[in-house]
């Protein structure tokens, strides 16, 4: 039997609308209302300024280790901006800007990175999952949400975030296979920031793109300039509309770059060059979008000052919160606490009470909560 080419032959598109030099493809420019363009820019700028403030807070020991988003604001905001409040957003661990846009109070996010479980709990009416630190484990959960929506005939789309490193995990492939087989309403957003901690993309895969991995599972994939918020928005809107219309999943690969550290426990100078970072700084998504809005006369005066004040007020609210009850470490694991853990909980309660009594007898001040201290957190490396 002769060899024959199977039809169709697959292709992957790359979408760029506003390049790093400010050149705009007007034929592809999405129709976004001026008020929405302003909201989009404000959300990106808030994400950047909060990121910078959180780095300082971590260095001062006021919060623990976290993963900065600097350089990836367009990938997050261009995609999450296309969701309805009733849709589901499933983050990994670097979606701070998207979470704030979805309604997470800044002080609650800070609370999470200060080690309080309350900070990771979505509001009862919030259609978001909490931050997921283990790489790619949130993706099967996201597909399960989409399958449930499909089964219940809810008009809901799920958007799941992950990095390039997640595509090297089995959970990623299992989730895409499940999504393709069941044709569920989900949009996979891969923020390809070129580095899985210290492993470059070229050592993770021999594929020309990450977007093409969708084709093996029977649904479309598209690669976009992840620093071009217009391109991310256009691709995401199309993918969300497809999912909502019952046309199944889409994988969007946002080609971007992590300008900062992987986490605040990381030193990227050990594995990447300064020249590489400077080259990507020339493609900064905020600089690019700022120039676009400037040409449209849509930049707001005093916006940075407003955002700085908003963040400062949130930090004050965060640090005024009461410290978490240490006894909650025994909660939320077992439906019924086993005898040995009940005994340990009681022992800890007694020790805490004795410590309070001792301090009262010795006229000592109560111990400072972790958020008020200026010392290295035990979560830092």
Active site residue 147: no
Active site residue 258: yes
Beta-bridge partner residues of 187: 159, 250
Helices and strands, number each (H, E), in the chain? 11, 8
User: Of 14, 56, 59, 271, which one is the catalytic site residue?
Assistant: 271
CA dihedral 326, 332, 338, 341 (to 10 degrees): -20
Q: Which two tokens stand for residue 100?
A: 């704030």
Where b means 16+ CB within 10 Å and e means fewer, 89-113 reads: bbbbbbbbbbbbbbebebbbbbbbb
Q: Which of 154, 143, 159, 160 is nearest to 217 (CA)?
A: 143
User: Of 127, 258, 288, 371, which one is the catalytic site residue?
Assistant: 258
User: Of 262, 288, 292, 371, which one is the catalytic site residue?
Assistant: 262
Active site residue 101: no
Cβ-proximal residues to 340 (8 Å cutoff; 6+ apart), any chain? none
CA distance 59 to 68: 13
Q: Is the peptide bond before 8 cis (omega within 30 degrees of 0)?
A: yes
**Helices 106-113 and 34-59: angle between axes, nearest 10 degrees:** 30
Task: Dihedral sign for Cα 170, 172, 173, 174, please.
Answer: positive
| Segments in the chain forming alpha helices (H) | 34-59, 73-80, 96-101, 106-113, 138-152, 170-182, 229-244, 274-281, 285-295, 303-319, 339-361
Beta-bridge partner residues of 189: 161, 252
**Helices 34-59 and 303-319: angle between axes, nearest 10 degrees:** 50
Residue 125's alpha-carbon distances to 18, 79, 91, 103, 229, in angstroms, are: 36, 21, 17, 11, 28
First to last CA, the chain: 61
Active site residues: 258, 262, 271
């Amino acid at each position: 039997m002769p060899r024959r080419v199977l039809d169709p032959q697959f292709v992957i598109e790359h979408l760029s609308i506003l390049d790093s030099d400010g050149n705009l493809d007007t034929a592809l420019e999405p129709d976004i209302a001026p008020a929405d363009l302003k909201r989009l820019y404000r959300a990106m700028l808030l994400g950047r300024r909060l990121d910078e403030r959180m780095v300082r807070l971590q260095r001062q020991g006021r919060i623990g280790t976290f993963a900065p988003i600097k350089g990836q604001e367009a990938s997050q905001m261009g995609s999450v901006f296309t969701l309805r409040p009733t849709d589901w957003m499933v983050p990994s661990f670097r979606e701070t800007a998207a979470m704030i846009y979805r309604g997470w109070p800044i002080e609650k996010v800070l609370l999470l990175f200060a080690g309080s479980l309350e900070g990771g709990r979505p509001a009862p009416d919030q259609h978001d999952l909490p931050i997921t630190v283990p790489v790619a484990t949130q993706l099967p959960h996201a597909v399960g949400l989409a399958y449930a929506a499909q089964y219940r005939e809810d008009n809901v789309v799920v958007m799941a975030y992950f990095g390039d490193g997640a595509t090297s995990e089995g959970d990623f492939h299992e989730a895409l296979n499940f999504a393709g087989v069941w044709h569920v309403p989900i949009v996979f957003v891969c923020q390809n920031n070129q580095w899985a901690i210290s492993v470059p993309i070229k050592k993770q895969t021999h594929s020309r793109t990450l977007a093409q991995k969708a084709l093996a599972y029977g649904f479309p994939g598209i690669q976009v300039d992840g620093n071009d918020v217009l391109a991310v928005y256009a691709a995401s809107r199309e993918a969300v509309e497809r999912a909502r219309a019952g046309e199944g999943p889409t994988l969007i690969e946002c080609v971007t770059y992590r300008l900062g550290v992987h986490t605040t426990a990381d030193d990227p100078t050990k594995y990447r060059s300064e020249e590489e970072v400077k080259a990507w700084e020339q493609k900064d998504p905020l600089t690019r979008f700022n120039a676009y809005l400037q040409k449209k006369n849509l930049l707001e005066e005093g916006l940075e000052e407003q955002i700085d004040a908003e963040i400062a007020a949130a930090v004050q609210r965060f640090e005024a919160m009461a410290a978490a009850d240490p006894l909650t470490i025994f909660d939320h694991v077992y439906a019924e606490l086993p005898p040995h853990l009940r005994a340990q909980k009681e022992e800890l309660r007694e020790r805490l009470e004795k410590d309070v009594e001792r301090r009262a007898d010795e006229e000592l001040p109560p111990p400072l909560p972790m958020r008020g201290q200026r010392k290295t957190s035990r979560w830092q490396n």
